[in-house]
Structure 1
Amino acid sequence: MELQGKSVLITGASSGIGAAIARVAAAAGARLMLTGRSAERGEAVRRDCGAEARFVAADVTQKGAAERLVEETVRQFGRLDVLVNNAGVIHRGTVATTSDEEWERLFSVNVTGVFYMARAAVRQMQRQGGGTIVNIGSDWSVVAGRDAFAYCASKGAVAQMTRAMALDHAREGIRVNCLCPGDTETPMLVSGLEVRTGDVARGIKVLGEALPLGRVGRPEEIAKAAVFLASDASSFMTGSLMLVDGGNTAG
């Protein structure tokens, strides 16, 4: 799973799965353009990733941000080989309890942000003759979960966006796949458990016991799968949804 010399742009790279992908990609030899909303956390991740990493603070929902990030990646490294669309948020609630503002914010990040970034990346990849996009979905891209109506809808959209892009751009040498993690011990999961249960350790234990493997995932496990999809090791894969979910969707 080598990424030696490849330029990789990762959104949502300042914490959780995005930060883990950055570190694993750096170890695989990638040249990294990292982005996220927190400059402080992003710079900490950049330092972990070595001399071939850069960080630019940005909000992927803002018009023009995607083009600026792609342009900066090309300016730094000469091309864009891989985009990892990782930025995402979650909101808990049913259709009855989800507000307009919650719906719009979630879709702005999880769907529109992916669209903006993918569009800018594909245009650059068309010019240079190919590239790879890895969209980070969820096991809830494939099956639904309770009390997460808008999140499930948004991650289902990411799955379909992946398939549509894969069909549209395969003959241009652009591969597009979707990595679908299950419950993973990230700051997002921890903060959600703090709000809902007040007991993070027990919450993680309960979530893990519900999975066939008996535990939740670790960010580095998801990151290794992302690097596989980003690398030439997955060269005959496009339009795929790759589940890394501890067996959650098997039954």
Structure 2
Amino acid sequence: MKSLDGKVALVTGGARGIGAAVVRAFAAEGASVLITDVLVDEGRALQEEIGAPARFYAEDVTNEADWTAAVTAAEREFGPVSLLVNNAGILEFGSIEETDPRTFRHVIDVNLFGPWLGMRAVAPSMRRAGGGVILNVSSTAGLMGYAALDAYVASKWGLRGLTKAAALDLAADHIRVCSIHPGPISTPMTAGMDDSVIADQPIARYGTPEEVARMAVFLAAEATYSTGSEFVVDGGATTGSTVLAGSED
């Protein structure tokens, strides 16, 4: 028996990168998966790749009506939703003075408001399923600050806090809520970054989407005593710095 047999998952931002790796991993473990994304061509291609356990549905996570329709589609295709992965996210570079208000609000809308809408939309379905697991994909930027990423950092810290509040709100319904905090992962979002990003971390390489997906499978299937918790997949990036090691007074 596979670890997610009989589970119904909804994965946002599922067309590529971490989201696509989670979709593949969940399907391989027996789950039926509704892939949602604004990237229609890539989402449909992934559905074709995986076959019967997957369906694609175009969704803007900042749109409440899209969320209602996505949950309805998942229930129509597979049954009540028992797993939600809030993975859709965007990154915009810019300091406080460089970032314009519209850009800041857009990052917050996608990265924080979207997951809030998603949890709100899926909770009744999870009750019908008898419980479930919500995984919010935050970032190491939800654990520490980064210069020139003000909107992104704010959104990911907010998602970390929202995860804890939701875990308390939904515990009585047997719904666990955890956050995943990837570090530098090799995805289209990080394609323009150079190796200086990973040079000082203990595991000095970019992570793979599959490594994050394995964490998601563990949390969905095995971490039955964990809720409101952060799980870090970052090559040790948040462990500390070796810059001063061996320096002289």
Question: Same-fold call, TM > 0.5?
Answer: yes
1:166-220 CA-partner distances (Å, limit 9, x unpaired): 0111121010000100010100110x43xxxxxxxxx1x3222222101111111
**Residues matched between the structures, number:** 239
Out of 206, 220, 234, which is 1:245 matched to? Answer: 234
Query: How many angstroms apart in 1 are the aligned matches of 2:24 and 2:18?
Result: 10
Report the structure, 1 or 2, having the larger helix content.
1
Measure how far apart 1:130 and its partner are. 1.1
1:198 is matched with: none
Task: Give 3-state SS (helix, strand or coil) of 1:234's partner.
Answer: coil
- How far off is 1:43 after superposition? 1.0
> What is the TM-score of this pair, normalised by structure 2?
0.93
In structure 1, list runs of 5 or more residues that go unmatched. 194-202
Mapping for residues 1-251 of structure 1, pairs under 5 Å: 2-190=3-191, 192-193=192-193, 203=194, 205-231=195-221, 233-251=222-240
Would the aligned equivalents of 1:23 and 1:48 in 2 still touch at CA under 8 Å? no
Q: Is the 8 A contact 2:11 2:86 kept in 1?
A: yes
Identity of aligned residues (%): 39
Largest Rg, 1 or 2: 2
CA distance, structure 2, for counterparts of residue 54 and residue 245 of structure 1: 30
Shift of the alpha carbon at 1:120? 0.5
TM-score normalised by structure 1 residue count? 0.92
Name the aligned partner's letter for residue 232 of structure 2: L
Q: CA RMSD in A?
A: 1.2
The Cα shift of 1:63 comes to: 2.5
Q: After TM superposition, what 4+ stretches of structure 1 lie above 6 angstroms from structure 2?
A: none
Stretches of structure 2 lacking an aligned partner (at least 5 in a row):
241-249
CA contact (8 A) 1:26 1:50 kept: no
Shift of 1:61: 0.9
